[in-house]
Amino acid sequence: MAKDLRINSNAFDGTMRSPNRAMLRAVGFTDEDFKKPMVGIASTWSEVTPCNVHIHDLAERAKEGAREAGGAPMIFNTITVSDGISMGTEGMRYSLPSRDLIADSIETVVGAESLDALVAIGGCDKNMPGCMIAIANSEVPSVFVYGGTIRPGKLDGEDIDLVSVFEGVGQHNQGDIDDKQLNRIECHACPGAGSCGGMYTANTMASAIEAMGMSLPGNAAKPATSEEKAKECEEAGRAVYHLLEKDIYPKDIMTKEAFENAITVVMALGGSTNAILHLLSMAHAIDVDLTIDDFNRVQKKVPHIADLKPSGKYVMEDLYKAGGVQAVMKLLYENGYLNGDCLTVTGKTLAENLKDAPDLVEGQKVITSLDEPKRKDGPLIVLKGNLSPTGAVAKLSGVKVTHHEGPARVFNTEREATEAVLNDEIKEGDVLIIRYVGPKGGPGMPEMLSISSILVGKGLGESVALLTDGRFSGGTHGLVVGHITPEAQSGGPIALLKEGDIVTIDADKQEISVAVSDEELAKRRGSWEAPPLYSKGVLGKYAHNVSCASLGAVTDRFDER
């Protein structure tokens, strides 16, 4: 007799569950289906962003694979929002909260429908950590699939992408390009379906999840519209059934060592600062003891070897042609940077998967040699000091400046800061402060790609430091420091800064400080009052429940908010 692979759906057995089965018959279940494990296909399909516009077709392919393997699959949907579309607007406050809404909604369906296994397919930035948090909390065998990268846009023989448009706004403001050229960039930057093409947050998190072993080998680099991506979705449907057969759960794969592998790959590829926030949240969900200090420990020993946008030349499709993330992982593993004993969704260890993985294509230029890296250590650095006692995050890929000291130019909103930049009120040497935009204060910890790109477009990317308790897009580059904690809304030192205070960023010493005495800071704190917390709708709920960014900005950490 064949083994019963059902974990939860056996709850529908027996005469008492006849009404429950009647409902399922209406969506196509037969007598035979009730004997099979029920596999949920969580789709983030939506027409609101190119990152996700193609995902329904991918979900159908995953459903086919799960059914062929022996499961009873059902597709269900969750939300997505586009960071690129909401960037620079009030809508950006909803981006990070969407991560938790996605996670909660997927977990809710898995739990309420008594599903036995899960394939989750994500596209835009918050889809991936949202799906992974749901996978951790749902506690059923699961596979994650990345919807894939967009192909680069082409203009005058050059590759361009969405960040080219953001930086074009700064170039336009500076007078370097005219209306017509900005419109040409806008019209050619995004040629179709898929997530933003550089090593921005979506591609960063896809790479991290592949390194962690929660997606199939080769998942991260396959372009969104390729047949290889569609075939992979079928394979994912079959793979999750095999996880049921082998009794392998997410907790067996998402170990501390697997998270360290993910951090290693993020550092080597020069990934987004958001990786720190999201990996912390995923670790919290799976009960792995990962802290912000673990990132600095890994950062010190892993070289940055990828010449990828935003600070480099190439995009994810170029990496795909060069051998993909798997080839990079093989290089890292063979040189002692990855733990090969970690289990993966193939049922094999990372070392076993990499044994048959391709090497980097001979003559490729996307990945440097380990002997001649872009940086000898990782580009994501956690800074601490009297301006950020519990940690802030800097990304130094492509940045020559490691020490900056200058007067604080203090703004409580991104809009006011942006106006100052566009009006040429911010000068070389300044330290531009945008505060009260953290997880609680924003609320929602909005990204600052718009203003950081304008600074780059105006030629101020390395001569003006931009500091915030908010976040930066994976597309941001330049002298920027985000995630300053504690945030201003919680009374962190950033709330006590005054115009003209001298702020120092020292990446070599991993310090961020303000030249104000403890006594003066205490005096300022005595007269400081927290602004009222936002108290309406989803943002209100988020503001009252979210934790500090140094803990992953999670909404179910009740020992610290």
Mind telling me the catalytic residues? 473
End-to-end CA distance of the chain: 51
CB 254 within 8 A of CB 286: yes
Q: How far apart are CA 27 and CA 526, in angstroms?
A: 62
Ordered DSSP codes for 17-44: GHHHHHHHHTTT--TTGGGSPEEEEEE-
Q: Residue 42: CB partners within 8 Å, gap ≥ 6?
A: 76, 77, 78, 106, 109, 118, 119, 120, 121, 131, 134
Q: How far apart are CA 473 and CA 88, in angstroms?
A: 11
How far does CA 479 lie from the centroid of its chain?
Answer: 20
Tokens representing 40 are 């949920």
CB 109 within 8 A of CB 76: yes
Of 245, 253, 181, give the one whose Cα is nearest residue 216: 253
Q: How far apart are CA 488 and CA 438, in angstroms?
A: 7
Of 46, 328, 321, give the one whose Cα is nearest residue 195: 46
CA atoms within 13 Å, Cβ hemisphere of 515: 12
Which amino acid, 552? G
Q: What does each C-alpha distance from 165 to 85, 198, 452, 460, 471 come to in angstroms? A: 12, 13, 13, 17, 20
Q: Is 188 helix (H, G, I), strand (E, B) or coil?
A: helix
- Sheet containing strand 38-43, strands side by side: 72-77, 38-43, 117-122, 142-146
Radius of gyration of the chain, Cα coordinates, nearest whole angstrom: 23
Residue 145 φ/ψ, nearest 5 degrees:
-125, 130
Of 435, 439, 444, give the one whose Cα is nearest residue 411: 435
Q: How far apart are CA 5 and CA 312, in angstroms?
A: 47
